[in-house]
Amino acid sequence: MRSRRSISDIVAVVLLIVIAIAAAVIIYMWLSGLIGSVHTSTSATQVKLEITGASVTTSSSAYNVQATVYNPPDSPSTSITVGELEFTNGTMICSTNEIKYTPSSTTTITPSGSATVSFTCTVTATAKPGTPVEVVLVTTQGVQVSYTTSVS
């Protein structure tokens, strides 16, 4: 006699696989929600800082970067911790953590506020005048904002 597998065996295996996958997805979603709710401090996704304009000038030994930064009303107060200058392909030209604010009394950009930040960094890669570059600012929350301009 020939042995035949019934359709119910195949259906049972398929149902077990579907139940296992569904259970894994539900556990993953539950853990993601649980871990996500633990963060009570300012989240990096809440920071919406914008660079509204920037200029880059060069001398023989340094780049002088100046950027106007706006913090929208629904974004928390923040500060700039690092300023970087990069080629548009992402290659680093220079970086510094010595940020200056204008007015000098400003060190934190409040919601609906704006400030001019500037930094000077030493030349590690040369960018001729007219070369497109990106000004990248990093906030205390670790959020990076960038603005494309050209060296003058």
pLDDT at 4 over 80: no
Residue 55 CA to residue 62 CA, distance in Å, equals 14
Query: Per residue in 87-111, is it b (16+ CB within 10 Å) or e — as a string?
Result: eeeeeebbbbeebebeeeebeebee
Residue 111 CA to residue 47 CA, distance in Å, equals 10
Predicted TM-score (pTM) above 0.85: no
Query: Which tens digits make up the pLDDT trace of 5-49?
Result: 677 888 889 999 999 999 999 888 888 776 555 554 555 557 889
pLDDT at 1 over 80: no
Half-sphere exposure of 70 (CA within 13 A, CB side): 10
Mean pLDDT of 46-71: 90
Query: Which tens digits make up the pLDDT trace of 75-133?
Result: 888 999 999 999 999 888 888 999 999 877 778 999 999 999 999 988 777 788 899 99
Pick the CATH number of 44-150 from 1.20.1250.20, 3.40.50.720, 2.60.40.10, 2.30.30.90: 2.60.40.10
pLDDT of residue 43: 54
- Mapped onto helix, strand or coil, the DSSP state of residue 29 is helix
Q: Return the DSSP state at 109.
A: B
pLDDT of residue 116: 93
- Residue spans of the domains in the chain: they are 1-40, 44-150
Assess contact for 100 and 119: CB atoms under 8 A: yes
Q: What are phi and psi of 149, to 5 degrees?
A: -145, -170
Q: What are phi and psi of 36, to 5 degrees?
A: -65, -30
